[in-house]
Structure 1
Amino acid sequence: TSSEREALILEASLIKQYQPPYNALLKDDRSYPYLAVTLSETFPRLLLVRRPRKRTGALLFGPYTGAREARHLQQMVVDTFRLRRCVRLPKTACLYYHLKVCSAPCIGAIDAAQYGKDVAAAVRVLQGHGEEIRPALEAEMRSSAERQEFERAAHLRDALAGLDALSERQHVVGPGRGRVDVLALAYPRDPSTLRVAIGRLRVEDGEVRGTDPHLLSISATDPPDPTEVWRQFLGQFYGSGWELPARIYLAGAVSEGLAPILDELFESRGIPVQSRPTGRYAALGRLAERLARATVDQVTSGPAPREVLLALMSLLQLPTIPQRIEGIDISILQGTDAVGSLVVFDHGVPRRSEYRRYRIRSVRGTDDFASVAEVVGRRFRRQLAEEQPLPDLLLIDGGAGQLAAAEAALTALGLADRVPAIGLAKREEEVYLPDRTQPLRPSPNLPAMLLLRAVRDEAHRFAVTYHRTRRRIRLRGEMDRALLDRPDGPS
């Protein structure tokens, strides 16, 4: 499994199924709690349930390893989105409406369409997409403080803090019959891992009953062919015809070259195969992807093989082998809390003790290019002053504009000829070089590209983490100042 929580839940499920004689724990008929959104109702509620199969017409999230955690999450979501709590709609508003934690559909204070939008936002939070609605909650908190609605502002502040606990996505589950296999393929992020992983979930009666990760070797110089990887795995695992499932789901797209293989192995035997699963199996597809990702990431990592560094040197036409790579990224939201990050990779291995964080000082508003120039200038001025080693390659998270800003900063320091720089754009994984008008578009799964993507993604993660820290500190300070400015002082 991909987390401690999922491992505990799977263990409990297997113990209840097989009843091992020497394991006295977890044999009772109790199950972990779920949260259920009653979509069959005109004004849905969010309930805590322990027997999900009895909840028809409900969208389920979980399971959760503790009832206290589930109840806290339920209360936070219900209060934040003002969902109703009553079993039957009364004719008059209840106390929760007067406390401003219920939108009171019972008295027509909100129509079904607007209430449905609140339910949809609550579902997004339960699915782990809380960051998408964070800006709206922050804006409402500020406006509440400006209107001197301090209780509402404080409630939203606490709700924003609670969103941090929702970073891990919860998996939608549902009833089902028979055995289903859910498969996903993951490529390595670590360039020293010349293998790919396939994660397999065994689902019986709508519940995950087992996981089975597999590793397959790939070439160090050629991009892995997904069709060949799937052909090799499916033939080895299902070719004998033993224990075939009733249905197979493949997370992600399937190439045309794989269709004859699927027809021979499964369609001829009456076993349907579906790619890009939807509905409740979409979440299981994501879980299989996480299993595959965790499997390939857990393979022992070490220095990038020399052939990978040589391939990167050839790809970028570098003067030396890129043993030391530094990556820079900028994180900013709505012109505030702009920060920069710098990460260091030595022979493909991150050197976290050499990471650096930067608060943008000279830029006002949103100017990604000027922010890149500031971070590059500050970084290399210090390296020159302290006579530190220069990197063999500088990677900028961005496209041509960000790269041009970095090149200008290096030129001002007289380092443009000593520090090769490139830009790596996220959308198409395009590589921008200073002396080329058009970007390179190599296969994103080349081991050399995997190394560049690992540096870029680590710089992005480090920048976003620092940005969130700075933003949280600022928002808490604004809230505290607003409370102190109240005529009667803080309560």
Structure 2
Amino acid sequence: MPANEKLKEKISHLPHKPGIYKFFDEKGIIYVGKAVDIRKRVSSYFNRSAQHNKKTLKLVSQIKDIEFTIVDTEADAFLLENNLIKQYQPKYNILLKDGKTYPYISILNERFPRVISTRNKVNDGSRYFGPYPSVTTMNVLLDLIRTLYPLRTCTFNLSPENVTAGKFKVCLEYHIGNCKGPCEALVDETEYNQNISQIKNILSGNLSVAKNYFKEQMAAAAANYQFEVAHQFKQKLDLLDDFQAKSTVVSNTLTNIDVFTITSNDDCAFINYLKVMNGSIILTQSLEIQKKLDEEDADILASIIVRLRQEFESTSREVITNIDVSLPLDNITITHPQIGDKKKLLNLSLKNALYLRKEREGRQEKNKGLSEQRELRVLETLKKDLRLTELPRQIECFDNSNFQGDVPVASMVCFKNGKPSKKDYRHFNIKTVVGPNDFESMYEIVTRRYKRLLNENQPLPQLIIIDGGKGQLGMAVKALKDLDIYGKVAVVGIAKRLEEIFYPGDSLPLYIDKKSESLKLIQRLRNEAHRFAITFHRSKRDAGTLKTALTDIKGIGPATAEALLLKHKSVKKLKELSFEEIAGEIGQAKATVLYEHLHANNPAG
């Protein structure tokens, strides 16, 4: 059974249930999708081809197998899809950076806990905060904490037994005031743990506990006329106020909210994520997502919301977005605020997404401008080197190809503004020349090419390049003269051995500097024309060999050979087919003859 028939058969047995589906090519998974109805969704890829864009059509053309998994609800499908995309990273799914590379702040599970940064989250009883998308953001928080609280940094095992036995001595950190000396029992464990409790609140976005504590301590010290101590607490309070002033953007009444906004163009989506706790933004992330299948903004954002919330371990029950999103997850409310502090927060997030889009598009425009400047410079150099009267914005290059005179063909490639214009490439079957005659073949293809352009009133190129020496160039000139366009178009030949450039009527060649950009452009054209001709010639030769090999089999006629030739291209590919697959194309009787012939010398195959 042919591959496409196998897929249709498999699709017809897919369930009308919610779940996920996986598309495979020869190498593995290429796409993972979710569906409320698996059969309807998968069928739509194959039944609505006229509505699909090029990317989706390319995906469908590569599908060799389909697998599915049924789940209980749409929400389960949503989460399973996300996990499989992270695991397999299929090339047709939009992808995110793996969250394992993001750093955390960890309060270690030990006596007199240390506060450290780490990228490895392990289940050891320690408390982890984050992950943080920016190392700079994380380090600002760590610096704030270490300024506010004197914490130990040593790795000693400060068990009561070890401390009582006097195994450790205070280090430089104690003497400069960065540590209170728990290694020598110089700080009370209850006081130390009280500091740790305040640090946990700060890392959770709740600064009020620490601020109230510092206010109380400042007031108590001032009441006891300990003004220097009071000033120290005042400095810590100012640090917290300064940190909060830089973070607070909305009312303090807003807490535990996720904000997602999206804007997009034809190729990319730009997303911003803000996490808000106690009126402060504690996390921000902007992303550029390459579209793979022309996805809708709502589909992209729904997928990103789930993944970012997993990456950054969000437990927020409220999600604010700038577009309607269907998110089939329990205990989550999606809102689109129109006024008030939440609207201000939404606008701030969208402003970040729009800024990222403007910056990326501006960079692309700049790169495009630089590329166009370089192309113009190369064309100006080529004009100067070849002494042309016009800037060669359109260049066409011709090449012949034959194998011992067999199946003579030719090619023409076209470059516009220094870049290949593949829609203007042309292949030529040599029609009027018998035998291996490159000169006459060149005359034929140049004549055919420009006679057609003249008949269709199409613009002529500014430069024609002939891959060959004086003989091929002379025949191209003759063709141009016979068409009465010689002198209207510049024409040169390039000889392969020494990269010599020949002009019509000039016996001495021109040598362009080997490092010149203009010579490199000519070489690119010549090599591309040669590649294009060789590829065409090889396919024609293989096709002829296959057709002859098939028509030599008694019982296989020209029509059957032609049909198999168009589809399978080679005897090797035919041999790989099962008897059932061949019979499905040409019938049982012919399949028996062909299969036995192909496997006569290789029964096991």
Mark yes or no: TM-score above 0.5: no
Normalised TM-score (structure 1) = 0.38
Larger Rg: 2
Which gives a bigger RCO, structure 1 or 2 (Cα 8 Å, sep 6+)? 1
Structure number having the greater helix percentage = 2
